[in-house]
Every structure is written in C-alpha cells, then in structure tokens.
Chain A
Amino acid sequence: MNIIEIRGLKKNYPLGDTIVPALRGVDLEVAEGDFMSIIGPSGSGKTTLLNVIGCIDFATTGSVKVGGHEITSLNDRQITEIRLNKIGFIFQTFNLIPVLNVIENIEFPLLLMKRPAAEARKRADKLIEEVGLKEHAAHRPAELSGGQRQRVAIARALVTNPDIILADEPTANLDSVTGASILELMRRMNEIEKTTFIFSTHDANVLKYARRIVKIKDGLIEKEPALA
C-alpha cells in the first residue's frame, strides 16, 4: 500500500523577475514501511521534493497525497496537524531546540499533541534508550556531539509514531563513522517501528543502506538505479 502518491508535481520558485523551476513534473509512489533514498546532485530538487512530501512547502501544480490526504487542498492548520501526527523530520543541521534538554526535545512533539506529560515522558524515555543516550537525558543540545544530536533528532522524529520520517542529508554534517551509525540506527528503527523512511543524500557510501533509490536530476526523477 502506498503511503505517498505524487502525480505531475511541479514546483517553481520566483527569483526576482524570473521563475526558477525546482521540480518539473515528478511522479512518485512510496510504499508503507519503505526505506528509500533520494539521490542527486546539488540543486537537483531533493530538498524541495522532501519539503513538499513533508508538507512544509507546497506544490505549484500537481497532486500530492500523504497518508491518503490530498495536501494541496488543506489549510495551514490541517497541514500542521498532518506534520505533527503523520510526519517526522530529521534535519541535516539537527535543528534541536537549544533551550530544552535532550529528553525535553524528544518529548516536545508529544506535548504539542497535548499528550499527558507522564505519557510523553515514558515514550521519550523508551526512545532515548533505543538511541543510546539515556545518560545524556538532562544535557542541552550544545553539550552533545553532532552524532549525539542527530540521534536525539531521530528519537524526536520517531516519538509520535509517524507514518513517514523524512531526513534531509542526515549524515552530511557527520564524519563517516558517525554517519554510518546514524544510518544503521535509522534502518534499525525502520525495522522496529515499521516507519517509512525517506532520506536524501548525495553521498554514494550511504546508498548501501537504502532498500530503494530514487534518482532526481534537474527536477525530474530518472530511472531508478539498481540497488548495490
């Protein structure tokens, strides 16, 4: 069953008086529980595609269905609800909230969902253990290494049990060993939590972790390359 269905997706950005096409007619289907990588050179439209799937950017034309919802017809409040309940984000630069400690960062989305504090803390405790940061629970993000921060980001993305986790270049700011461990973790989480993972990368070394690879170039999806 497809959790994402994209048809004829175009996304243009205005740049002064000119229009820059970022996506030029993307058709894509992603099955539930997939572990998929989007690859392509810089400026190919990877981030734009992830942003549109993640409902933080909007299609100029085309149809985008996420978890059965046609997101192009929803208002901001409904789209925000989808982001909160259905999607988890892992950012290249981690994007943790600096004034909250590790455990608070992880439970943050659950508190936005108005879940009881005790329940949120219980779920965050489970995840912090799974990502191996239990002893760092009270630390602020500034006190963690890059790899540790990304583990927190993964736990935060998983905490709401989302249908999809989107990771934009999750290993770009990490050394190769840490990057590999992060991808291992994501893969493990994919297996444990059965969550759909879509991550973008231009690093050929990380492709071995993907079960499906989608190549994008100049705003269009090319033929899917064979898995290594």
Chain B
Amino acid sequence: MLLIRLSLRNLLRQKRRNIMLGSAMAIGVCILVVANSFSHGISDILFNKIMRYVTGHVAIRFNEKGGVMREIFRDRARAFEAVKGEPVIEDADEAVGMFARAIGNGRSDNIILVGVDTKKTIGKKALREVEESFRLVEGKWKDVESAEIENPVIISAEKAHYLNVKMNDIVRVRFRNMFGQDQAARLTIVGIMKNDNIFMQPVVFLELPREKELLGYRPYETASLSLKIKDPQKNAAALADRIHARLKPGIAAIYASAAGRDGRKPVVLLGFKSDEESKKRISGILKLSSGSFEKAFRKDGVIIPVPLARSLGVNVGDKVAIRYDRKFEKTPKEASLQVSAVCGSGDYPAQDVVLLNDSGFYDLYYDDLPAGPGPGAKAYAADATWSALAAPEWVLLKRTYNTDDYKKKYQEIARNKWKGTTIDVSTMYETASDILKLESVLNIITISAVLILFFIILLGVVNTLRMTIKERTREIGTVRAIGMQRRDVRDMFLLETFFLTLFSSFTGLIMGFISMRLLSLITFHPVDNPLGMLLVNGHLYFLPTFTGIAGSMLLIMGIAVVTAWFPARRAANLSPAQALGHFT
C-alpha cells in the first residue's frame, strides 16, 4: 500500500509531463483498439454477413459424379437426418445458387440466382435479420412467394439500374441446369434491395422451390446444405466432425428381380469399383467360366455367377431384364443389362448377386434410388473383401481443418474421375481460413505500426523516467538511508510507470470507443467500389472484442513496464551515500 500511495502521489508531481506522455500513450491505445476492432469487423462481415449466407457456418456439399455444378443428393430426408438432434444448429437450409445471364431492357449482365426458403426464412426474427442485411427500397420480401407472379425475384438496386429494369419488369435469364442442359426462364421483379456490400450486388433472390425446379431437382432431392449454428467459432469444427461421422456410407445395393429366358429370380445388384487397383484385385479373386474381364470392366459390364446364369437361362451376351421398386416413386424401375461375364468359381460375393461396373451401376442407382430389401427379405451383408471392392452409397471426403488442406482436397477431387456422389463436410473457417489469416495480417500490420509509435512513446517513458530519477536522486538516497530496500525502490518506479500506462490505456480505450462511434456515423456510398465490402449499410463496421482490447492493453502495459525496468533498477542500485550527495 505504501508503495502504491507513493507511486500515485509521485505520478501527480509532474502533472504536465505525465499528462503529455499519457496522452501519447492513450492515442497509441486508441489507434490499436480502433484498428483491432476494424480488422475484427472485416472478419465478422466476411464470415457472418457474407460467408454465413453463402456457405453457412457449416456446409455439407454433395457433388454427383464429380460434377462441380452438380450439387445434388438424391435423398433429401436422409441428408437432413444427418443434422437432426443437434442443439447448436439454428438453421439448416438448402444452398441453391446458380450463375445466370440476365437480359434486361437493352442490357445484359451476369447474376447469381439464390434460392430463399420463404416458408422458413420469413419468420419474424429471420425476416428482421434479412431486412437488416438486405434493405428493400421497393417491394416486400413476402412477394417472392406469390403464386400469381411468374418467378418473382428481388434484385439489387445496382443490378436493376445496370439492367435498366424496375419493379414488375420481366428479366429473362439463360442458365445451365444441374445436368448441364441450357435453360431459359423469365423472372419478375417484385423487390429492389439496397445493398452496400459489393459481394451481394449480383445476387438475385428467388423462392427456393422455384429455383430448384429451374435447376432440375425433384422434390425429394436436395442441394448442398448450409447450417447456421450458435457460437460458430466454438462449435463449427466439432459439429462438422459429428456430422461427418454420421455420414459414413454403407454399400450401395439394389434389391431387384432379374428375368432371363428361363424365369425371374430375386437378385442383389452391386457395383464394383472400377479403379485400376480394384479391377486387379477382382480379376485375381474371380474365375470366369465364360466372357472376359475386359468386357466386364467396361462401363456397361455385368458379371453374374454360374448358378444364377443357369437358373435364368442366360449366357454371355444375353440380356437380363431388371426390375426394382423405387424409393420415392410408386412405379417400379425397369432396365435391361447385357451379361459380359459369367463367374464359375472364386470369392464371389453371393450366388444371387449381379455385379455391375460402378459407372453403370451409379447411373441406375442415382437416377432412381432403390427401395430397401423389402419386407422379410435380408439385406445384403458384404464380407471384408467385398466391403472394400463394392461401390459405396457415396464417397465421404476426409475432413480438413485449414484452407490449404481444403484446397488440396478439391484439387484431388478435380484430378479423380468420381463415379459416385462425393460428400464433403466443412466449416467456413476452413473454406475461408484465408479470411482469418487476413485478419491476423491486418492485426500484425496494425500492431507493427503501433509498436513503432510505441517505440517512440517508450523512448519518452525511458527519458521521463531517467529525468525523474535524476530529479529524485536525493530522495532515493533518503529513502534508502531510512531503510527502504532496493527492490522497493525499483518497484516504486515500476508502479509509477504501470499506473501511468493503466490510466493512459483506459483513456485510450474510451477515446477508441468514441472514435469508433464517430467513424461509424459517417455514411459512404461505395457504388462499384471494392471498399464496399468493408461496410455495413454504408457505414464502417467495428467489432471490438474483449480479448482484442485486453490483449492490446496488456501488450502496452507489458512493454511500458519492461522498458521502465532498466532505469528503475538503476535507481534502485544507486549508492545511498552518493545519492544523498547528489545535487540537482
């Protein structure tokens, strides 16, 4: 207490000098807090106001047959099953978007057509959030679900201006659907939104079911899923891991009946993997009695076992009629397969199994998902060999935890020829960890700049302290002579610096908050300006965080105390006799 009292009183002795030094420190803290809050604000905009709407906090991406644009999963209910019962999930949406060429009145431009689930999104709270993020200057959000209007859409004011269209005008669009077919449609403008965020300017909102229909989805199919969750920074990675574990695929099997010349038999159609390594293994374990592996390994290759071939009365080159119940349609699916090889002996999966090359198998499987084995029938259970060789329901891509690994994963996807659907579960932190890196870089730049400023300030601290020590040398001699230990003398000066920095930091913090408030009152109009991405509704956006502020203050106090250590120690080491004999 004695040292604290002495330090505080000494601090008030040189008011003008300390106020000037403290002001310089406060300005440094103010800059650091503002810059830190600004860079954190940028991350927040990118993550929570852009990425959140583009990919969600966690995304489950489905890509059928390696098609980048073919984001489809044929069993919507099953996809949503994987995210059920997770209390951290606030919202799970189908992320449906497509690039299109829009033709307005005499002008055309590219747009991104984004599907909004009006049934779900336009709740009171969600509507308020949507309206805050995308301010409508004309029209109503509710109108996008109007059944009387042909494809009602909401378009950004900038895009409407460029396309020379206004409310109730028709915009024609050309686009390629999910299966690569060129399509055209007419959109009716029912709303115009004002958006200062440059990323959102090409976005045109259309009701989700209409968008899905345009792209070629059937009602029971889904696009990639976008999940919005509570406290994403804390929960996203763990949730993605849990969903990933739930999406482990089984073996894809079609429970069908096969008909040949001599009758119809129940069969199980399995796909066999047709990569080089699998083909080598299959040719090693199966002994063909007729036909060849060369033909069997073609896209339309079909292998049946000898007993089944006999009971059906078919041989190599003969056709087999296949029929199976579909999961989502009432009528059964019928197809014709041509036998490429008959397997005589070897490690064949089962005597009722028909093996198909996975390319051909998936065409059948995905086009019309089969129903299960049927009441009373046994599901096919593969042994270890065929668990590895049989085509899975889908390919679950491994989890990645940073952008570099994520990019590598997608490079690998691009290199491989995928026959099945790939499923990727990722968080926005790995798909865009570059944004976090950007924040870190901005923080490093800010801290570096402020450290230079602080270096200058700290020279002032050292200089002030040296001057103070010189002025108070006799006093140091006195307190040492009276019986104050060296350590206490040192601590007295350190405490003085600490309190000066503490008060300055708090002043700087208050100045920082005032500056942020004032800066955020300025309105910018960044039409077609990349700076627009840094704005929220035309205003600079700051997001101060406790850790950022506490870190900045601790950094500055730490630096100041460390800097003060050396002159303070010098003061403590003064000989009392010499100090008492000192004249200023």
Q: Known contacts A95-B478, A99-B10, A100-B9; is A112 also within 8 Å of B580 by CB?
A: no
Query: Interface stretch among B112-120, B241-249, B287-295, B483-491?
Result: B483-491
CA distance A115 to B219 in the complex (A): 84
- Whether A80 contacts B485 by the Cβ 8 Å rule is yes
Query: Interface stretch among A62-70, A82-90, A122-130?
Result: A82-90
> Which residues of A from 70 to 99 have beta carbons under 8 Å from B?
76-77, 80-81, 83-85, 89, 91, 93, 95-99
Query: Interface stretch among A34-42, A50-58, A207-215?
Result: A50-58
A56 surroundings in chain B (CB, below 8 A)? 477, 480-481, 575-577, 580
When each residue 99-118 of chain A gets 1 if its CB lies under 8 Å from chain B and 0 otherwise, what string results? 11000000011011100010
B12 surroundings in chain A (CB, below 8 A)? 99
Number of interface residues of B (CB under 8 A): 24
A57 in complex: contacting residue of B6, B488, B575, CB < 8 Å = B575
B485 surroundings in chain A (CB, below 8 A)? 77, 80
> Which residues of B from 529 to 580 have beta carbons under 8 Å from A?
575-577, 580
- Whether B577 contacts A97 by the Cβ 8 Å rule is no
Let me know if B475 is at the binding interface, CB within 8 A: yes
B474 surroundings in chain A (CB, below 8 A)? 93, 95
When each residue 7-18 of chain B gets 1 if its CB lies under 8 Å from chain A and 0 otherwise, what string results? 001101100000
- Chain B residue nearest in CB terms to A85: B483
Let me know if B522 is at the binding interface, CB within 8 A: no
B577 in complex: contacting residue of A57, A91, A93, CB < 8 Å = A57
Let me know if A156 is at the binding interface, CB within 8 A: yes
- Whether A91 contacts B478 by the Cβ 8 Å rule is yes
- Give how many A-B residue pairs fall within 8 Å (CB-CB): 68
- Whether B478 contacts A113 by the Cβ 8 Å rule is no
- Whether A91 contacts B580 by the Cβ 8 Å rule is yes
CA distance A59 to B447 in the complex (A): 52
- Whether A112 contacts B577 by the Cβ 8 Å rule is no
- Whether A97 contacts B484 by the Cβ 8 Å rule is no
CA distance A78 to B263 in the complex (A): 110
B89 to A: closest C-beta gap in Å: 59
CA distance A89 to B580 in the complex (A): 12
| Interface-central residue, B2, B13, B486, by most chain A CB under 10 Å | B2
CA distance A99 to B482 in the complex (A): 16
A199 to B: closest C-beta gap in Å: 15
CA distance A57 to B480 in the complex (A): 12
- Whether A99 contacts B6 by the Cβ 8 Å rule is yes
- Whether B483 contacts A81 by the Cβ 8 Å rule is yes
| Interface-central residue, A77, A81, A108, by most chain B CB under 10 Å | A108
CA distance A91 to B480 in the complex (A): 13
- Chain A residue nearest in CB terms to B485: A80
- Whether A89 contacts B486 by the Cβ 8 Å rule is no
A80 in complex: contacting residue of B480, B575, B580, CB < 8 Å = B480
- Chain A residue nearest in CB terms to B482: A109
- Chain A residue nearest in CB terms to B583: A93
- Whether A80 contacts B10 by the Cβ 8 Å rule is no
A9 to B: closest C-beta gap in Å: 15
Let me know if B371 is at the binding interface, CB within 8 A: no
B312 surroundings in chain A (CB, below 8 A)? none
- Chain A residue nearest in CB terms to B478: A95
CA distance A124 to B427 in the complex (A): 70
Let me know if B130 is at the binding interface, CB within 8 A: no
> Which residues of A from 178 to 198 have beta carbons under 8 Å from B?
none
CA distance A98 to B477 in the complex (A): 14
A127 to B: closest C-beta gap in Å: 15
CA distance A119 to B1 in the complex (A): 15
B residues touching A (Cβ–Cβ < 8 Å)? 1-2, 6, 9-10, 12-13, 474-475, 477-486, 488, 575-577, 580
* Given A95-B477, A99-B12, A108-B482, 14 extra CB contacts under 8 A: A51-B577, A80-B485, A83-B481, A83-B483, A89-B481, A95-B481, A98-B475, A99-B10, A112-B2, A112-B482, A112-B483, A112-B484, A117-B1, A156-B482
User: Which 8 residue pairs spanning A and B have beta carbons closest together?
Assistant: A84-B483, A99-B9, A57-B577, A56-B576, A95-B478, A111-B2, A83-B483, A56-B577
A residues touching B (Cβ–Cβ < 8 Å)? 51, 54, 56-57, 76-77, 80-81, 83-85, 89, 91, 93, 95-100, 108-109, 111-113, 117, 156, 160
Q: List 27 A-B contacts (CB under 8 A).
A: A54-B481, A56-B575, A56-B576, A77-B486, A80-B480, A80-B485, A80-B486, A83-B480, A83-B481, A84-B483, A85-B483, A89-B481, A91-B580, A93-B474, A95-B474, A96-B478, A98-B13, A99-B10, A100-B6, A108-B482, A109-B482, A111-B2, A112-B482, A112-B488, A113-B483, A117-B1, A160-B483
